[in-house]
Amino acid sequence: MAQQDISVLGLNTIPDGSGDVWVAPVNTELTLASAPGNELCVVLPASGSISTDTGIYGKFTVPQNYDGAPVLVIRGILNGAPSSEVIAFGVQMKPLADDEAYDAAFHTQDIASASSVSQADEDVYEETITLTNSGPFAISDDVDFFFYIDDSVHTYTGTFLLTGLFFRYTTT
């Protein structure tokens, strides 16, 4: 079976109300010598500046060729050397089909974390979260989500510049 990614960042994505997350051009967050850095990123906070899970809310629709094996792919730029610190992300989702109540709670979180990663300051970083608690997903479901820095595990002292967030799945 083939895999496919769809971006879940876009017009239906908004920072939480904490004030600790914002959208900015990459070049306002990093000192760059060669790259223009004009693309936008979502700036996710350092561990020391938050006391709760902090991130973004969004919505996407499960594609018509969805068959299973859902994974959330996180891509971004490290703004600070991670050394032996822990980088931790979490997500909670709420897939809804036609004729289901919108006013429902998010499902249990799915998380991923890594410590002592080999990347350095200003390196591109990718992480994945297998979506075992967030489903079940069905074709054409509208999926509300909360993607965040997992405050209970995250010790990374730099900011994370989120440049991509993708729903990966196997196709029919």
| Number of separate domains in the chain | 1
Asked if the structure places residue 147 within a domain, the reply is: yes
| Predicted local confidence at residue 42, as pLDDT | 97
- Confidence band of 164 (pLDDT split at 50, 70, 90): very high
Question: Does residue 69 have a pLDDT over 80?
Answer: yes
Span 70-93, average pLDDT: 94
Question: Where does 8-141 show beta strands of DSSP type E?
Answer: 14-15, 22-25, 40-44, 54-61, 66-79, 86-96, 110-115, 124-130
The model's pTM:
0.95
Mean confidence (pLDDT) of the chain: 94
Q: Is residue 153 part of a domain?
A: yes
Tell me the pLDDT band of 145, cut-offs 50, 70 and 90.
Answer: very high
Domain assignment present for residue 135? The answer is yes
Q: How confident is the model over 84-125, as pLDDT tens digits?
A: 899 999 999 999 999 999 999 999 999 999 887 889 999 999
52 domain-assigned: yes
Check if the beta carbon of residue 106 is closer than 8 Å to that of residue 146: yes
pLDDT band at 77 (very low <50, low <70, confident <90, very high): very high
Is 122 part of a structural domain of the chain?
A: yes
Of 15-19, 27-31, 118-122, the least confident: 118-122
- Domain CATH number, residue 129: 2.60.120.260
Q: Measured between alpha carbons, how far is residue 40 from residues 28, 36, 43, 61, 141 in Å? A: 10, 11, 9, 23, 28
pLDDT at residue number 172: 82
Q: For position 117, what pLDDT does the model report?
A: 85
Residue 65's domain comprises 3-28+39-157+164-171
List pLDDT tens digits, range 117-143. Answer: 889 999 999 999 999 999 899 999 999
Task: Report if residue 112 sits inside a domain.
Answer: yes
Mean pLDDT of 18-29: 96
Q: Residue 34 falls within a domain, yes or no? A: no
Angstrom distance (rounded) from CA 4 to CA 21: 28
33 lies in a domain? no
Q: Residue 1 above 90 pLDDT?
A: no
